[in-house]
Structure 1
Amino acid sequence: MNMRNILVWAILLVLLLALFNMLQGPVQQSSSGTEINFSNFMERVESGEVDAVTIEGRRITGQSNTGQNFTVQIPEDARVTEQLRQNDVSITAREPQEEGINLLSILLSWFPMLLLIGVWIFFMRQMQGGGKGAMGFGKSKAKLLTEKTGRVTFDDVAGVDEAKEELQEVVEFLKDPSKFQRLGGKIPKGALLVGPPGTGKTLIARAVAGEAGVPFFTISGSDFVEMFVGVGASRVRDMFEQAKKNAPCIIFIDEIDAVGRSRGAGLGGGNDEREQTLNQLLVEMDGFEANEGIILIAATNRPDVLDPALLRPGRFDRQVVVPNPDVTGRERILKVHMREVPLASDVDPKTIARGTPGFSGADLANLVNEAALMAARRNKRVVTMAEFEDAKDKVMMGPERRSMVMTQKEKELTAYHESGHAIVALNVPSADPVHKATIIPRGRALGMVMQLPEGDKMSMTHQEMTSRLAIMMGGRVAEELKFGKENVTSGAASDIKQATRLARAMVTQWGFSEEIGPIDYGDDQGEVFLGQQLVQSSSISAETAAKIEKEVKALVEGGLAHARQILTDKKEDWVTLSEGLLEYETLSGDEIKELLKGIKPYRDAEVPDKNDGGESGGGAVPVVDEDEDSARGTAQGPQGPLEPKPGGA
């Protein structure tokens, strides 16, 4: 029975005792007799109505001849005994009983006050997130993990070798501090893990503690901020006090940007709760009092908003970048997550890694889990490559919408649209190999063409960019050539949007326009304040803006003309592929090449779609096209290499 149940039963018991006492009071009073005054008592004694009495101190009880019980209070100087003896009244004397402390009455009198105190404690605990008692809201909420079970080491972390090497020195210091101290070296007091969400920043911090075998305190940045000014600073002090008792140890603060934002950027002035907490954290990390043996590791995906004082040497000495893994890192991460999954002999982690550019560690873990769930739904004992292929398509593009009813006209339009993208991709000067084309609706797309890069790309050439512009406009040109200008649909809305973004980035950021020159006219994404950003955006003159729009239009129309030329020259291939998509719905890259040579793809009777990639790698990758469902109005943008980011990443 827990404390809450015990408290409930105790309160019920007190209430029952109080009720019993209230009911018993009048009965005891009636049994002691009627209260009479002293003069009446003496008259009864003198008249002979009283035969016997009992004296207890200054109180007399007795019974008259008529059988009536009575009680009387006598004065202090009254000589009652002599008068009673003169009237032949039998006298019985007893020691007066001292009234003890009535615990029940005390409890009843204090019960309202105790109830108010209990309610106040309850609400204080609720406001302070379940603090340790009513006055414990200034205590640290950091949780101590001793890693007795589920210990994580560097063997469980893959794909971030550079980050592991940076933190290996921290592990060696925690194991043998004298090795560095003999030469006068000082270990960095803090390490800031910077990277996109899902790259394994928290896992790396746990691995450092697991490798060193030291206590590991974990807390979130939002746990410091409360409604009362000074509470966060008190929690910082208490956290470091606990860490000193367990030194050497590691303190891990997740999402430190919640408390470490630049001071002076808000509306609260310099005395608000968050800034007080940050000031205390700065002092604890590098102040007058040394915190030897305490290493602070923090994680964030917004290093640009952190206060400069937090990043200076002596506090967070090192910034460890934890990026999305490359193809080798993805393969190793997949092998880590596949340890507990029964795999078929045809599963190749290297092939899956090639087909998942831009995936983080969390994305890969989700991919393996989706494949296992899919195999379970299909009543299989092992997970095959087909499940990984289907899971990859589901993660990247959404589940198939086979229940969606499409008319024959819509299917034909989608088939010619997608085959236009594919034929242009096969004939431009520089493009990734076509991996798959489908007219099966997925998510918000009615159909799509996917390309599989041969390796991770860190940059794009001018030829690759202009080729992509042609690929993006291939669907729009295909609709125009097949059905006429008057029957062109809104399905190319996503293609036009992406082509415009890519062309604008080529002109304003990457210097691919002779008219504009190598000048950066893009918006500064690093600015915090919206006002400054608006000033920068409006700094472009009307004449320059007109030139930019002219250059962007020329690039997009150049891609349109290039796509029109390819589809005109390769009309026979384009029609063949369109008819193949109408018949088979989904074609892999190898099947497209065979179909264009006159070889029809093989379809097993039990397997309606052959989705393996053959020699091309079999991995679904960034979406090259999404044929927009016109009823929705907007399309889901592609991921990966098509995103017009600096360097073409």
Structure 2
Amino acid sequence: MIDPAVLRPGRFDLRLAVPLPDAAALAGVLRRHLTLPEPEIRALAQQAVGHSMADLDATLRDLRGQARRAGRRVTAEDLHAAFGADDDPMMTRRIAIHECGHALVTAALGHGQIQHIALDRAAGQTRIRRAPRAGLIADHSDLLAELMAGRAAERLIFGTVSSGAGGPDDSDLALATRVALAIETRFGLGAEGPLWLGETADWLHDPETRARLRARIEAAEAQAMQILTPHHALLEDMAKTLAARRELSGQEAAKWLEQVRTSDAVAAAPEPESAPSSPDASQPPACRTL
């Protein structure tokens, strides 16, 4: 973690996010360090998706030390065991369902192009190239549905939701709250009418505003659920492949995404209700939708 003081305005002019390496990059490192058949290299690289280059380097050094003490070479079995040591199949499945929910709803609403979906050891990430929008209330409502789609997918498949949509300030819930707050206080599209009320989170302390935000976000989750429900089997099939492979490129994901793009059942956002429901919560997987 970086101290927030270091990231205050004026300290750095440019910030770069360095994504985790994909299977191709990991395979390149494994080829340089190991003498194994190419199919084995590719299988190991696929299993290692979600590890950083530093993780991979540390794992290789540790395994080399163990092998040296045992008087042998590092084997593929050593690496398979190391990469799978922390795997929790149920958690991996939940994260995969969550990420595929984002991808399918985004494809159904037609506002963005899925570029990459990946799982790491405790989270997931769906990278989206978002199309320009006109800024209509329907556009903002669709964006909210896309952000809430991971949570909706979990509820559809498991009947419960995890804390994976929440957490840090770039989480699904954080982004959805910002969008809903902007609708109410800055975009002139909410209950306050054509007023610009400032870029402040102080409005979150107002009970009436908070109730409107919650109703709007819950309506977006309901919209996502309405889109996903007829594609229940498609969601599970896509998530099964993602869980096994740990990543899907946009081209690979198109096999499933095209089926929702051509569907006639694309739901509009329901009207927000004043009495929000109280969701269940279980253990996280975290999610980032970029």
Using structure 2 for the length normalisation, give the TM-score. Answer: 0.57
- Contact preservation (8 Å) 1:516, 1:548: no
Deviation at 1:561, TM superposition (A): 0.9
Matches within 5 A, 1:228-627: 301=10, 363=16, 379=32, 399=52, 402=83, 405-428=86-109, 430-441=110-121, 446-453=123-130, 460-485=135-160, 488-493=161-166, 494-513=171-190, 515-523=191-199, 545-595=206-256
- Contact preservation (8 Å) 1:581, 1:587: yes
Inter-partner Cα distance in structure 1 for 2:125 and 2:146? 12
Amino acid at match of 2:220: G
Inter-partner Cα distance in structure 1 for 2:103 and 2:210? 29
Distance 1:503-1:404 versus aligned 2 partners, 3 A rule: farther
Percent identity between matched residues is: 26
Matches within 5 A, 1:78-157: none
Amino acid at match of 1:573: L
Distance 1:553-1:563 versus aligned 2 partners, 3 A rule: same
Deviation at 1:363, TM superposition (A): 4.2
Amino acid at match of 1:504: L
Deviations 1:386-425 (A, max 9, x none): xxxxxxxx9xx98276566121111111111111111111
For residue 424 of structure 1, give the secondary structure of its aligned residue in structure 2.
helix
Aligned position for 2:267: none
- Contact preservation (8 Å) 1:474, 1:563: yes
Distance 1:411-1:466 versus aligned 2 partners, 3 A rule: same
For residue 520 of structure 1, give the secondary structure of its aligned residue in structure 2.
coil
Inter-partner Cα distance in structure 1 for 2:94 and 2:119? 10
Deviation at 1:461, TM superposition (A): 4.4
Distance 1:404-1:517 versus aligned 2 partners, 3 A rule: farther
Deviation at 1:520, TM superposition (A): 2.3
Deviation at 1:584, TM superposition (A): 2.1
For residue 107 of structure 2, give the secondary structure of its aligned residue in structure 1.
helix
Inter-partner Cα distance in structure 1 for 2:288 and 2:228? 25
Deviation at 1:556, TM superposition (A): 0.4
Amino acid at match of 2:111: A
Deviation at 1:490, TM superposition (A): 1.6
For residue 115 of structure 2, give the secondary structure of its aligned residue in structure 1.
strand
Distance 1:452-1:637 versus aligned 2 partners, 3 A rule: closer
Aligned position for 2:69: none
Inter-partner Cα distance in structure 1 for 2:94 and 2:284? 15
- Contact preservation (8 Å) 1:423, 1:573: no
Inter-partner Cα distance in structure 2 for 1:583 and 1:636? 18
For residue 522 of structure 1, give the secondary structure of its aligned residue in structure 2.
coil
Distance 1:407-1:462 versus aligned 2 partners, 3 A rule: same
Distance 1:458-1:477 versus aligned 2 partners, 3 A rule: closer
For residue 117 of structure 2, give the secondary structure of its aligned residue in structure 1.
strand
Inter-partner Cα distance in structure 1 for 2:117 and 2:32? 28
Inter-partner Cα distance in structure 2 for 1:595 and 1:638? 18
Aligned-CA RMSD value: 4.1
For residue 451 of structure 1, give the secondary structure of its aligned residue in structure 2.
strand
Aligned position for 2:75: none
Distance 1:434-1:638 versus aligned 2 partners, 3 A rule: closer
Matches within 5 A, 1:5-16: none
Amino acid at match of 1:468: L
For residue 592 of structure 1, give the secondary structure of its aligned residue in structure 2.
helix
Distance 1:376-1:422 versus aligned 2 partners, 3 A rule: closer
Inter-partner Cα distance in structure 2 for 1:579 and 1:567? 16
Distance 1:476-1:404 versus aligned 2 partners, 3 A rule: farther
- Contact preservation (8 Å) 2:183, 2:189: yes
Inter-partner Cα distance in structure 1 for 2:85 and 2:129? 28
Deviation at 1:427, TM superposition (A): 0.7
Deviation at 1:560, TM superposition (A): 0.8
For residue 112 of structure 2, give the secondary structure of its aligned residue in structure 1.
coil
Amino acid at match of 2:164: G
Amino acid at match of 2:151: R
Deviation at 1:523, TM superposition (A): 4.3
Distance 1:403-1:551 versus aligned 2 partners, 3 A rule: same
Deviation at 1:462, TM superposition (A): 3.2
Aligned length: 207
Distance 1:524-1:474 versus aligned 2 partners, 3 A rule: closer
Listed as ranges, the gaps of 5+ residues in structure 2 are 1-8, 20-24, 34-48, 56-82, 260-281
Distance 1:377-1:405 versus aligned 2 partners, 3 A rule: closer
Listed as ranges, the gaps of 5+ residues in structure 1 are 1-299, 303-323, 325-359, 381-393, 526-536, 599-628, 640-649
- Contact preservation (8 Å) 1:573, 1:596: no
- Contact preservation (8 Å) 1:505, 1:522: no
Using structure 1 for the length normalisation, give the TM-score. Answer: 0.28
For residue 123 of structure 2, give the secondary structure of its aligned residue in structure 1.
coil
- Contact preservation (8 Å) 2:127, 2:289: no
Deviation at 1:452, TM superposition (A): 2.0
Amino acid at match of 1:399: S
Amino acid at match of 1:484: G
Amino acid at match of 1:482: I
- Contact preservation (8 Å) 1:440, 1:586: no
Deviations 1:479-520 (A, max 9, x none): 1111123xx32222132222112211221111121x211222
Inter-partner Cα distance in structure 2 for 1:438 and 1:473? 18
Deviations 1:355-411 (A, max 9, x none): xxxxx5x749x99xxxx9x9789659xxxxxxxxxxxxx9xx982765661211111
